[in-house]
Chains A and B, each alone.
Chain A
Amino acid sequence: MSNFAQKHRGWTRAQVALAFLVLMAAIACGLAVYSSASSLIVLSREAFSVLFLPLLLSLVLAFLLDPLVTQLEKLFTRTGSIFIVYILTLMLASLAVLWLTPHWQEFWSNMGADFPRYTEQVIVGLKNVISALHDRFPMVAQYDLPAKVHSWGEQLMSAVLAETPQSAMKVGGLLVIVPLFTFFFLRDGRSILRACVTLAPNRHFEMVRDLSYLVSRQLSHFVRGRIIEAVIVGLVVGCGLSLTDIRYAPMLGIFAGVTNLIPYIGPIIGMVPGILIAFVDLGAGGQFWWIVILYILIAQVLIDNFILIPILISRVANLHPLMVFFAIIVGGKFYGVIGMIIGVPIVSVIKIAMLEIRTYRRTFRLPESNLEGERLH
């Protein structure tokens, strides 16, 4: 025993120091690697968050314009046809801006005065409801809902006013970046995809090429379908509203169109401001009911569900309502309002890709099992 201890002590003197140093060096190395890795992750996440929105918008725009460019390509070169499409788009966009600017200015100048009026009306309505409730459930009075709504309304208004110059800067930046990105996606999209596919190993190359084609075709159909659907619903709502005396009809139409990108919840959010403004300004008369019918029956049921969705969007891409809620909540957590709008399409896109891969594999599994059956006989 003592022999062992002596031996051990003799062994430690020289080498524990070395072991200690090695251990410290290892820990230092580990920390260095860890910190650099985490800072790398942070860096890449920041880069991604800066690029995310412009990249996404440019991809969507590229999907939208691609069929037009491909049609023109029969007559001109690819770059030439992209320029022609750009000039046409620019003309359309400037016409839209020219038409929208007076409405936009009216909207902004009146909103400061109107918004408190609308919240005031909501509060009055709420107070009525609460006093009615109070007669039956006395404990509700403990919770001062009208005051809450008032402060929420003020917060929302001040947030919108403060955010506008910032978001104007952002939009200005996007207006420069998005067309640039879109141009390169349109011109080199195929070769970018080709380059990615080329990276696949020889053994799986064929399948990857096939799947990339199938998935990108489905995706472009889906994106195009969704955007066209939103534009048509927005147009129908905008036109229908301009027939009445309601204010901000074009703005409400655009809002309904944009929110229509979110399934299930979007249309409801889209109709809230319109119905609220109609109720406050026009009262519960014939025009109010016309607006309600327009939003629910004409725009949603008739145009969207009976005409547009069957034509434009395959049932394949339909998500379970629960998935839609998850996508909206998680999207909102990551990227705010924009995240809420794009969360659902992104989940749909993932679903489409997975479904395509599954059907592809199934298509080829059936004959293969037949072959094996034949071999067994």
Chain B
Amino acid sequence: MDPLWTNIFRKKLDEESLAFFLKHLPIFSELSPRALQILEGIVHVRSYKANETIFEEGDPGSGMYMIRSGTVKIFAGGQNNAENELASLAVGDFFGETTLTAPAPRSASARTIEATELVGLFRADILELAEKHPAVCSVIFLGLTRIVSERLQAASLEIRRLKKQIGDYTATEGIET
């Protein structure tokens, strides 16, 4: 065997490994290699067909999903109402992280657009991890809190902007009438 070829082979495998994928998600970027190895042991890799429902609005939510391959559509509204697409997510994106710590019903539905591989991280696994490896768990939670805070901040800015827009709109309406 040519050592050059085996080396190339190994490098490629590394990049395809689950730990490599997790390491490049913003939530887990601070994890040490050992912590990544532990994390690798508690996540669930699930493969979905095209157009398969991942969860529906109102389902009991208990964890987050990360997209390893494929695309996922997030939408509001069930079978009766028209689907109101909220987002289309691709490789490296994640969703459902708000129900990871607090049990709550899903606030939107998710469905795959093409054949998709998802990596799931669920509350049950996180709670077990908290007992066994509290340090690793706290690093994961720090990453999660950072992401959730960023999103919250963006959302509150957006709300302020919209409020201002409504205020401007009603003001102009008031002048006109």
Contact = CB atoms under 8 A, between A and B. Distances in A.
Contacts of A212: 124
A292 interface: no
A368 B131 contact: no
Contacts of A203: 53
A367 B133 CA distance: 33
B27 to A, nearest CB: 19
Nearest to A78: B132
A205 interface: yes
A210 B131 contact: no
Interface string A298-320: 00000000000000000000000
A367 B105 contact: yes
A203 B125 CA distance: 18
A198 B43 CA distance: 11
Contact of B44 (A207, A209, A213): A209
Interface in B111-157: 120, 122-125, 127-128, 131-133
A70 to B, nearest CB: 6
B58 interface: yes
B54 A209 contact: no
B162 interface: no
Given A198-B44, A368-B105, A213 B127 contact: yes
Interface in A149-199: 190, 194, 197-198
Among A202, A213, A363, A372, chain B packs the most CB atoms within 10 A around the CB of A202
Nearest to A369: B58
Interface string B51-65: 011110111111100
Contact of A371 (B55, B105, B123, B131): B105
Given A74-B132, A210-B122, A210-B124, A202 B54 contact: yes
Nearest to A210: B62
B147 to A, nearest CB: 20
B58 A371 contact: yes
B78 to A, nearest CB: 9
Nearest to B80: A375
A364 B44 contact: no
A363 B60 contact: yes
A205 B60 contact: no
B124 A213 contact: yes
Interface band, chain B = 20 to 34
A114 interface: no
A368 B59 CA distance: 8
Contacts of B127: 213
A360 interface: yes
A205 B44 contact: yes
B131 A206 contact: no
Contacts of A209: 44, 62-63, 122, 124-125
B132 A206 contact: no
A73 interface: yes
Interface in B19-47: 44, 46
Secondary structure dominating the interface of A: helix
Contacts of B166: none
B71 to A, nearest CB: 16
Contacts of B59: 206, 364
Interface string A199-233: 00011011101101110000000000000000000
Contacts of B128: 190, 213
B132 A210 contact: no
Contacts of B62: 206-207, 209-210
A29 B118 CA distance: 46
Contacts of A70: 131-132
Contacts of A210: 60, 62, 122-124
Nearest to A205: B46
A73 B131 CA distance: 10
Given A194-B44, A205-B120, A206-B63, 19 more contacts: A73-B132, A198-B44, A205-B46, A206-B55, A206-B59, A206-B62, A206-B122, A207-B62, A209-B44, A209-B122, A210-B60, A212-B124, A213-B123, A213-B128, A363-B60, A364-B59, A364-B60, A367-B105, A368-B58
12 contacts: A74-B133, A197-B44, A202-B46, A206-B60, A207-B62, A212-B124, A213-B124, A363-B60, A363-B103, A364-B103, A371-B57, A371-B58
Interface of B: 44, 46, 48, 52-55, 57-63, 103-105, 120, 122-125, 127-128, 131-133
8 shortest interchain CB distances as A-B pairs? A213-B124, A364-B60, A368-B58, A210-B62, A367-B105, A209-B122, A368-B105, A206-B62
